[in-house]
Amino acid sequence: MFRNRREGLALALPAAIFSTLLFLVPVAILLSEAFRSDTGFSLQGYVDFFASPLNRSVFLRTLKLGVLVAGSAAIIGYAAAFCIVNLPGKARGTVFGMVVLPLMISPVARTYAWIVILGRTGIVNDAIVGLGLSASPIRLLFTETAVFLGLLQLFLPLMIISLVSAMENIPRDVIPAARVLGASWLNVFFKVILPLTKEGLVIGGTLVFTGALTAYITPAILGGSKVLMLETLLYQKVNVSNDFVSASVIAMILIAMSFAANLVLKRIATARS
Amino acid sequence: MKSTLSILAVSCAMGSAAMAADRTLTISVYSFAQDEYKEALYDPFEAICGCDVVVETGNSVERMAKIEANAADPVIDMAVISTQDALTLARKDLIAPLDPAKLTNFDKLYDTAKDPIGDHMAVGYTYYASSIVYRSDLVEIDSWGDLLGEELAGQVALPNITGTQGPLTVMMLGKALDAGTDLAPVITEIGAHADDIVTFYSRSSELVQLMNQEEVIAAPVGRFAWGSFEKSSLPFAWATPKEGQAGGMNVMVMTKNNGNEDLAYQFMDYWLSTEVQTKVAQMLVDSPANKDVVVSDEIAKNLTYGADVINALNIMPAAEIVDNRAAWVEQWNTEVIQ
Amino acid sequence: MRHFANWGILGLTLIFLIGPFVIIILAGASAGPNLAFPPEGLSLKWYAKVFTIESFRASFVLSMALAVFGTITALVLGIPAAYALNRYDLPGAETIRTIVAAPIIVPGIIVGLALLRYVVVPMNVTVTVALFMAHTALVLPYAVRVVSSSMHNLRADMEEAAVLLGCSRMQAFTKVVLPNIRGGVLAAFILGFVTSFNQVPVSLFLSGPGVRTLPIDMLAYMEITFDPSIAALSALLAFMSLAIVFVAERLLGFSRYV
């Protein structure tokens, strides 16, 4: 730790000022509409929002899918990241490149790919019918399953990248050493890997959860209007009903959820170590 | 820091490059068929007026939001939108009334296109019919009521209430169900069948894809999307339901105090001229609102063309949509989506 | 045995991640008029069509410029911030961290709308500049967090040792810190680049006459038709990005650091 605070602030402040002036201030003005009424400060927007059963179910669905996507991404992510860091250098670069690759593809195109895959005449249904699991094609599009798959595919790379870059910093001999000393794999994971990669898990988890909450195209296309999520509902409020109060309320809720997720993840990470 | 500054300089330069010409008309239009419009409308107009036409495209909601946000200093001079969107803009005092005397082609328009939302706030430039597209090898459709029937259960899509087509479909279902003018019971009825409906689509291109992969075998859609179905190798047909076809109109509006009114009028008038309306019709882009346009039977077949067809359309008054939309969406959200 | 399990896990993950991409490439090579898999016959006509669509060229240039300059600006702002947050005992460090990270959790559509209503219009800022601001702010969290994460595990005593041995602070930074976080910086650049390049909701409201980012242009195109040219364009863009990663790997040994 260096002690010269003025020097430190001079380095950190430009970024903070940039974000504040060009980003936070305009957004804050917009969000303040969620607390505004004719008489001044008001929480009526929130009361009205949660009074609607549709809004409540959309809120719960968003939370559920966000948790499911982030949780699944963490499980798959750890497995994949562990395999990747154990690969020899050349293969590692190739595999890592392949993990990054989907991020290069426009989410619009990736989502449309799922329409083709999950459709009634798509390969998943071909397989289901071919294997005799169902007599006729089942409806996958416009279900929560479709949105879940789409979101997971969209954001899993972020988790893997975060975990790989955290895991590369684990000294190479730590895990074999723990194994030699008789620790089970589960023990190694919770006592060695998790504490040393918590930063990566917090970053990856927040990125995936937040990404899943604020993704628009995937729920819009794979869920459609039958599987509304908060972001698609927000879009509807802005676009269709020009209802900026409800839109600001939803935005506040989304932001609060992301913050909460970040705190919970940090808590989990510190509790384990 | 130096690089930041030079980047800002570059981006500023990029921003101002588009504003180089002396006289510029900025228009806001639907994104579709821009190549055709360029050939039939923008390029010839630029040659006539000696000005630049800058085109902003996008879906109507974004475009409206931008017109509203820029109200103090309008960027857009004229826009083409749906009648209900025009009425919404008019009620927000964002558009100016049009003077028919400044449009030499005004008298050539069908009567319903001359003043579709009142107070001469808009003028219609194209009509479209709305009916049901279906797979003729799998089903037979002769009533709007068939959409909620047994045969289509699990294989039908409806337009979302939030789009332009949604209210039209609800209106026609109301006719089929003898529900009268109140649409609330019709929405309840759709809600009762919600599980049988694959999705409530919001873009016609999305529907084209769903129908091509047999996810959906029948759905209501605007005639402007018919071309995409016709191109397909699958046997699609356009229904002529016994309740008739629904219909709509797109209109031109003038933003308020844009300071470029003369050029905007000149452009509107040119677009409404028999020459341009004929060209655009022959490209199968827009069905004409100008009565003098004559096209071949082959072309007419693919358009919403002629007094007989246009006068038979069930057009929903814009005011009815604007006044009720919030309530419809609310009811739709509780009874249909849940 | 463990080798086998490793490759099994990786194989399944990669199929899930890459499968849709393969489908997009092949769907773009369809001879038929619709997006379909398997494609109805093979042809390159949709790949050829992409280059004939004029608006894609302009929006590609804009998106490219935004992604490159926005990300570089974010790194210029972000690397010092990440360094300061790691190495100094700053008052309000947590606040700074939160402020810088904030753009990531604000729904894009709200950002776009807020900038349009309270920056572009009242301050008479051009849409291009607003886009540049928004994209830089959006990339900044990635820059700070990824660089920070790679700095986190770099022991500070090495740098202190360098200072003790007579290096200036700047020298210590360039000789000790920078080489060690190179991978992080590159990862941040690539993440930032793709985030910016593929950004949709923020740019939705931030487009003006003749100024539109590529994804918005693609979306607009898809509102009209669903033909396979969008699949073809997506595949071409992905190949372009792949080339960037490949070059990064060759020049800097990407995989050694990430």
pLDDT along chain B (338 residues), means of 10: 38 39 86 86 95 85 80 91 94 95 96 95 96 95 95 93 90 90 92 93 86 92 86 90 94 95 96 96 93 93 91 93 89 87
In chain B, domain spans: 21-127+248-307, 128-247+318-337
Sites in chain A below the pLDDT cut of 70: 1-3, 271-273
**The two three-digit tokens of residue B260, written as one number:** 């470029």
For every residue of chain C, DSSP letters joined together read -HHHHHHHHHHHHHHHHHHHHHHHHHHHTBSSSS--SS-SSB-SHHHHHHHH-HHHHHHHHHHHHHHHHHHHHHHHHHHHHHHHHHHB--TTHHHHHHHHHHHHHS-HHHHHHHHIIIIIHHHT--HHHHHHHHHHHHHHHHHHHHHHHHHHTS-HHHHHHHHHTT--HHHHIIIIIHHHHHHHHHHHHHHHHHHHHH--HHHHHS-BTTB--HHHHHHHHHHH---THHHHHHHHHHHHHHHHHHHHHHHH-HHHH-
Please state the CATH superfamily assignment of the domain spanning residues B21-127+248-307 in this structure. Periplasmic binding protein-like II (3.40.190.10)
pLDDT digits (tens, 9 = 90+) for B155-212: 999 999 988 899 999 999 999 998 877 899 999 999 999 999 999 998 888 898 889 8
DSSP A8: H
- Taking only Cα atoms into account, the Rg of chain B, rounded to an integer number of angstroms, comes to 21
Q: Which of residues 180-239 of A touch C (CB under 8 A)?
A: 199-200, 203, 206-207, 210, 213-214, 216-217, 231, 234-235, 238
**Chain B contacts to A (CB-CB under 8 A):** 61-62, 65, 154, 160, 162, 194, 198-202, 206, 209-210, 213-215, 325-326, 329, 333-334, 337-338
Q: Which residues contact C157 (CB under 8 A, 6 or more apart)?
A: none
Please tell me if residue A9 touches chain C, with a CB cutoff of 8 Å. yes
Contacts of C129 in chain B (CB under 8 A): 8, 11-12, 15
CB contact (8 A) between residue C114 and residue A84: no
Is the predicted pLDDT of residue C179 greater than 60, yes or no? yes
Minimum-distance CB partner of B15 among C32, C72, C128 = C128
Which contacts of B6-9 are long-range, i.e. CB under 8 A and separated by 24 or more positions? B7/C69, B7/C72, B7/C73, B7/C132, B8/C129, B8/C132
Q: Quick check: bond before B241 cis, omega within 30?
A: no
In chain C, domain spans: 54-225+238-257
The pairing of strands B246-255 and B123-135 is antiparallel
Q: Is B102 exposed, middle or buried (0-12, 13-18, 19+ CB in 10 A)?
A: middle
Q: Which of residues 109-148 of A touch B (CB under 8 A)?
A: 112, 115-116, 119-122, 139, 141-142
Q: Identify which of B121, B93, B163, B58 has the alpha carbon closest to the alpha carbon of residue B252.
A: B121
What pLDDT sits at residue C1? 55
Q: Whole-angstrom Cα distance, residue A257 to residue B74?
A: 38
Q: Can you tell me the mean pLDDT for C207-227?
A: 80
Is the predicted pLDDT of residue C115 greater than 50, yes or no? yes
Contacts of A241 in chain B (CB under 8 A): 325-326, 329
Q: Whole-angstrom Cα distance, residue C208 to residue B271?
A: 23
Please report the ipTM that was assigned to this predicted complex: 0.86
CB contact (8 A) between residue A241 and residue B154: no
What pLDDT sits at residue C257? 44
What pLDDT sits at residue B315? 93
- B74 in helix, strand or coil? coil
Q: Whole-angstrom Cα distance, residue B309 to residue C254?
A: 65
CB contact (8 A) between residue B75 and residue C35: no
Q: Whole-angstrom Cα distance, residue B329 to residue A240?
A: 9
Contacts of B206 in chain A (CB under 8 A): 221
Closest residue on chain C to A236 (Cα): C109
Closest residue on chain A to B336 (Cα): A226
Please tell me if residue C19 touches chain B, with a CB cutoff of 8 Å. no
Contacts of C208 in chain B (CB under 8 A): 56, 66, 75
Please tell me if residue C251 touches chain B, with a CB cutoff of 8 Å. no
DSSP A1: -
The total number of residues written for chain C in this structure: 258
**For residues B126 and B83, is the Cβ–Cβ distance under 8 A?**
no
Buried-state track C220-250, b at ≥16 Cβ within 10 A, e below 16: bbbbbbbbbbbbbbbbbbbeebbeebeebbe
What pLDDT sits at residue A181? 83
CATH topology classification for A52-272: MetI-like fold (1.10.3720)
Minimum-distance CB partner of A142 among B61, B65, B198 = B198
Q: Please, what's the largest Cα pairwise distance for chain C?
A: 70
Contacts of C37 in chain A (CB under 8 A): 116-117, 122-123
What pLDDT sits at residue B119? 95
CB contact (8 A) between residue C144 and residue A14: no
Compute φ and ψ for C169, nearest 5 degrees: -60, -40
CATH topology classification for B128-247+318-337: D-Maltodextrin-Binding Protein; domain 2 (3.40.190)
B128-247+318-337 shares the fold of B21-127+248-307: yes
Domain covering C54-225+238-257 in this structure, CATH number: 1.10.3720.10
Q: Which residues contact C134 (CB under 8 A, 6 or more apart)?
A: A22, A23, C111, C112, C115, C202, C203, C206
Q: Whole-angstrom Cα distance, residue B135 to residue B143?
A: 15
Q: Whole-angstrom Cα distance, residue C151 to residue B277?
A: 64
Touching chains, C (3+ CB pairs < 8 A): A, B
**For residues C71 and C147, is the Cβ–Cβ distance under 8 A?**
no
CB contact (8 A) between residue A110 and residue C114: no
